[in-house]
Structure 1
Amino acid sequence: MSATRAIVTGHTRGLGDALAAELLSRGIDVLGVSRSLNPSLAQRFPEALTQVELDLADTARVGAWIAGDGLRSFVAGADRVVLVNNAGMVQPIGPLEGQDAAAIASAVSLNVATPLMMASAVAAAATDATDRRIVHVSSGAARNAYAGWSIYCATKAALDHHARAVALDENRALRICSLAPGVVDTGMQAEIRDVDTEKFPLRGKFEDLKRNGQLASPEASAAKLVDYILSEAFGQEPTADIRAL
């Protein structure tokens, strides 16, 4: 196994798939954690990819998995351990009175509780590593409020503030950054463009981005993100936007 090992949540599609592929292509062993497996990555990187099927919105199951040996075994002996909290959901979209309680709970669990649980678990498990790096995949929605996105904005802002607070611990062996990747052409973007404008008034803006070719590809975004994540500059600021680096 390589001296650097990475854990990527939501590694089966979109940006998560691209991030896992980019890390693997650089000779870094990856533990992918998602609701399903990624057969394409498994075929391309049969020795370097380990996969766990886990519903990351189910915090009880996440807690049970963390309490097991899988995570500790994967990071044991690594000099550098990277956690990329990528998994997330944009639903529920719409005004406050129309949001389903169960959907809110799922979003908060997936977007906030699980990333924070994973961050703590990796920090505790990677006792051999002199370099631990935690990445929350953030969003412009963490830093700007959008009508219809109250849950998504709030959950992404929570990750930003978590990173700011953890950075105050001043643990030299631990770096953290809540990192916005820009607007990436993923399934989430397609989902946004399908939402009724009454629920999301800014839908037209995202349609224009797609129409005008202004969405970055997952592969190009992943390459930039991994370059920064592995750089000496990573963690100097607890929140960042890849487009400004």
Structure 2
Amino acid sequence: MKAILTGHTKGLGAALAANLLARGVPLLGLARTGAPALREAYPDLFEEVELDLADGAALAAWLEGGALERYLDGTGAVLLLNNAGVVGPVGPLDVQDPQAVLRSVALNVAAPMALSAAVVRASSAAQRRILHISSGAARNAYPGWSVYCATKAALDQHARAVALDGERGVRICSLAPGVIDTGMQAEIRDTPEERFPQRQRFVDLKETGTLVDPERCAEQLVDYMLGSGFGAEVIADLRTLS
């Protein structure tokens, strides 16, 4: 078994990387920056590529270079965790930077879709498990979050359609992990209320200690991904999985 994880250097991604490696699962991390502590702690299990996943040309060049095929060669099972994402740009249309919209869609949608296809094409493993980190925002619209809601909803629909394809050995799930205490949450709390009217709700979650610890979330998420029931619910919420 081998795993591929995007956005492995911070937040939930860092917790997922540490959890997988602690279980002895070889991991390839893809992110704009590196994780030297993981390289030092797991020199035989961990590899990483510093890659801006919002840069479609850079991602395409890496995929065309054969590194993915070489990494997956001979492995019996593959886990792909599409975790990298951004919440911005936040606000109504008249304050959204079009370039930021393009980068957000590239990172939140195009990269996970391309990687999903690339992993299945590059591997002949008996099991290919694909996890999209989705959000409650995929299923409920929020003012100021039109880009984030739309991009996460796209992942949900992608998972539904892939599941309908019924490819042998491929399981997929688009999973909302809950509200996690990460840098993204800090970014949300720092957003002016005129751009995100729901801001106070997230401030309250922090102040009341309701946010989920990333390490606890990662433990539950990896347990689910490795379990026999993965993919039975194509659109799922970690908080309601049995």
TM band (smaller chain):
over 0.9
- 1:78 aligned to which of 69, 75, 78: 75
Q: Which residue in the other structure is 1:115 paired with? A: 112
| Structure 1 segment 85-104 matched on structure 2, within 5 A | 85-104=82-101
Identity %: 57
Q: Give the deviation of 1:47 after TM superposition.
A: 1.1
Listed one character per residue, the Cα deviations across residues 24-69 of structure 1 (whole Å, up to 9, x for unaligned) are: 1111000000001011111211110001000000011101101112
Q: Give the deviation of 1:97 after TM superposition.
A: 1.3
CA distance in 1, matches of 2:76, 2:175: 23
| AA matched with 1:144 | N
Listed one character per residue, the Cα deviations across residues 61-106 of structure 1 (whole Å, up to 9, x for unaligned) are: 1011011121111111111100000000001000111101000000
| Structure 1 segment 125-204 matched on structure 2, within 5 A | 125-127=122-124, 129-204=125-200
CA distance in 2, matches of 1:116, 1:171: 16
* Structure 2 unaligned regions, length at least 5: none
| AA matched with 2:6 | T
RMSD: 0.6
Listed one character per residue, the Cα deviations across residues 104-126 of structure 1 (whole Å, up to 9, x for unaligned) are: 00000000001100000001011
- 1:124 aligned to which of 109, 116, 121: 121
Listed one character per residue, the Cα deviations across residues 198-238 of structure 1 (whole Å, up to 9, x for unaligned) are: 00001000000000000111100000000000111001121
| AA matched with 2:225 | I
* Structure 1 unaligned regions, length at least 5: none
CA distance in 2, matches of 1:230, 1:220: 16
Q: Which residue in the other structure is 2:5 paired with? A: 8
CA distance in 1, matches of 2:36, 2:87: 25
CA distance in 2, matches of 1:138, 1:166: 15
Q: Which residue in the other structure is 2:202 paired with? A: 206
CA distance in 2, matches of 1:126, 1:181: 27
Q: Give the deviation of 1:172 after TM superposition.
A: 2.9
